[in-house]
Amino acid sequence: MDDLGIDELLLQWEGVYKKGLLTFWVLLLLRDRPMYALEMGQELGEVSHDTMSVDERSLYRALRRFEWAGFVSSEWQPSDIGPRRRYYHLTTLGDELLKRFAQRNILLFMEPDIVQRLTPLMETPLDDEHRHA
């Protein structure tokens, strides 16, 4: 398989991977402080080192699902520069969900046996063509 084929497979895999991680990133942001959706979308790119982005409609749909499930709550607050904004907060349930997800799925990558398997992958430098694919 040529590089173009590998790049296409990688894009497909990353699409599924990133869609599944949206909940993680949103809850991680809300753990720091309450935010409104537009602010959250902007912060998402920054905190994920531009590996994640989400369109506004998808973010609002996700936030509605999270609120319905009880791990996010919201309230309207006035704004100094325009109409009032809906700020989202992490609930106690959301905080616990985030902690357990991180322990089961993120912190797992810090386990010595997994670090040992990943280290050779990190030691192989990518050429410029593949670094930003």
Confidence band of 125 (pLDDT split at 50, 70, 90): low
At what angle are helices 37-47 and 56-69 packed, to 10 degrees?
100
Give pLDDT tens digits for 89-122. Answer: 999 999 999 999 999 888 988 999 999 999 998 8
pLDDT of residue 25: 93
pLDDT of residue 133: 45
pLDDT of residue 122: 85
pLDDT of residue 96: 96
Give the start-to-end residue ranges of the domains of the chain: 3-131
> What angle (nearest 5°) sits at the alpha carbon of residue 45, between those of residues 41 and 43?
50
- Residue 129 vs residue 116, higher pLDDT: 116
Q: Which of 74, 78, 52 is nearest to 63 (CA)?
A: 74
- Residue 69 vs residue 15, higher pLDDT: 69
Name the amino acid, one letter, at 82.
Answer: G
pLDDT of residue 130: 52
Q: What pTM value is reported for the model? A: 0.79
Architecture per CATH, 3-131: Orthogonal Bundle (1.10)
Give pLDDT tens digits for 20-73. Answer: 789 999 999 999 999 999 999 999 999 988 888 888 999 999 999 999 999 999
